[in-house]
Amino acid sequence: MADDLLTTAIAHWGPRFTANGVDASDFASITAPLQSWGEWCQAWSTGAESYLELAAIALEQESTRTAGEHFARAATYFHFAKFLFVHDRDQARLASNRAADALTRALPHLDPAGERVEIPFRGQRLVGVVRIPQGPGPFPTVWLIPGLDSTKEELREVERSFLHRGMATFACDGPGQGEVEWYLPIEPDWSEVGEVVLRHLRTFDRVDDDRIGVWGVSLGAYYAARVAAAGLAVRATIALSGPYDFGAAWNGLNPLTRRAFQVRSGSSTMEEAALRAQDLTLEGVSGNITEPLLVIMGARDRLFPPTDGQRLANETVGPSEVWMLPEGNHGCANVINHHRSQSADWLARHLNA
């Protein structure tokens, strides 16, 4: 019989995996034999390795597009191997490194191709991937912000929705995320992160300085709102399933999520983590959001109260919309066709794509 942590992972995140690049049959075949959470990382890493093998075969056959697809899928599987596997840091870091390597190998073979970007920040670096449509540009650009347990390796399908509408994308691991989590803890106030990232994006000739938007999911939606409230040159923001006050939601979070926050915030105890969670709030800053904001929430979100989204929208002084999806879970991954394309259209309109 599967243990409680494993049951929690499978019950909460199955739709999310398949909405973000995991084949449904792979999800079933990888998770079905598992009996304990301790088996999770290795099982998903083994699944990722099968796609590295397929990528190698495709390269031998000079099928570079296929190779890129296989490398990108392998990166996603390695990411999901470690996404909440924080109790074994050695296994998790190996999977994290392999995810980054697989994605880097995929980038030249994607359409459009991607470029790995490292941005100096507080003596360390933020790491992201920029993809720009074919043509002279400059292009409107969307900065994609992952959440507590997501990373740039999970965002290929999200990128696709914006790229197909003539926008460039920049998926970036910030403090406490992906490659960056190993040396920078979670940062409650993203104004400095936003300033550094936006300054770097403007060094790309084919990025339109005046047409930059932000998209964030889960805790990344909170970060996106903090960037929007920082007075930076952001034209429009999408916040998908984010908390208004992470500390207020703390007691209702599942044990995997609480443990991940403890580790990625650099807290030595769960009690310290609960205190640090209180720093992640939009109270007192949401009123500084003056540009268009779209908030998307699922009425069946198990992590954050759906009312958080309405509260955020009500407190902004700029134009705001709330899309409340009645059947939506956290991240609305189970109703992906009811918001992903439509929200990309929304941002395309606001960025004049």
Catalytic machinery residues = 218
DSSP state of 167: -
Residues 6 or more apart whose Cβ sits within 8 Å of residue 101: none
Q: Going by DSSP bridges, is the β-strand pair 139-145/168-173 parallel, antiparallel, or unpaired?
A: parallel
Extract the runs of DSSP E, i.e. beta strands, from the chain.
Answer: 114-121, 124-131, 139-145, 168-173, 207-217, 236-240, 293-298, 320-325
Residue 125 CB neighbour total at 10 angstroms: 16
Element (H, E) at 197: helix 191-201
Per-residue CA distances from 167 to 38, 54, 235, 333 (Å) = 40, 30, 13, 22
* Spacing of C-alpha 331 from chain mean position: 10
321: left (phi over 0), alpha (psi -120 to 50) or beta: beta
Note whether 198 and 234 are within 8 A (CB).
yes
Distance between CA atoms of residues 21 and 155, nearest Å: 8
